[in-house]
Amino acid sequence: MGPQFAAVAFTGGSVVLEAQTPYERELLADYVRDCARAKEHVRLRVGRQTWRVERVSRDQGQVCSHCHRPLHVARCRGAQRRVVECVACALRDDLTRFSDRSPSSSGGVR
């Protein structure tokens, strides 16, 4: 299996990072949370899966639909689903979800 990549796009730029190992996915999740704190529009793309990452505040009282932990910094909404996930669940180690191993060059945000 080839390397797994993730594209993080935001107003003013984008970055492509490796996301193969659990450690790389942990670093990616931290980076995405930091982007959500600082940027208004963030998009995360891994293979063919894309999430809109939105900033949340602690007082909103939302929880992840998968792990049921409170969302304190960011929430991810998939383009095909209405569920809200934490960044960690969106990037969980389920490589079968990602059928295309490289990000699209058109993953930018307005």
Report the predicted TM-score, pTM, of the whole model to 2 decimal places.
0.76
Residue 20 in any domain: the answer is yes
Alpha-carbon gap, residue 62 to 65, rounded angstroms: 9
Residue 104 in any domain: the answer is no
Alpha-carbon gap, residue 98 to 18, rounded angstroms: 14
Q: Which domain holds residue 14?
A: 5-97
Query: Sign of dihedral through CA atoms 21, 28, 12, 53?
Result: positive
What are the tens digits of pLDDT across the range 25-63?
999 999 999 999 999 889 999 888 899 999 987 777 789
Confidence (pLDDT) at 2: 65
Mean pLDDT of the region 1-25 = 89
What's the total number of domains in the chain? 1
Residue 102 in any domain: the answer is no
Residue 108 in any domain: the answer is no
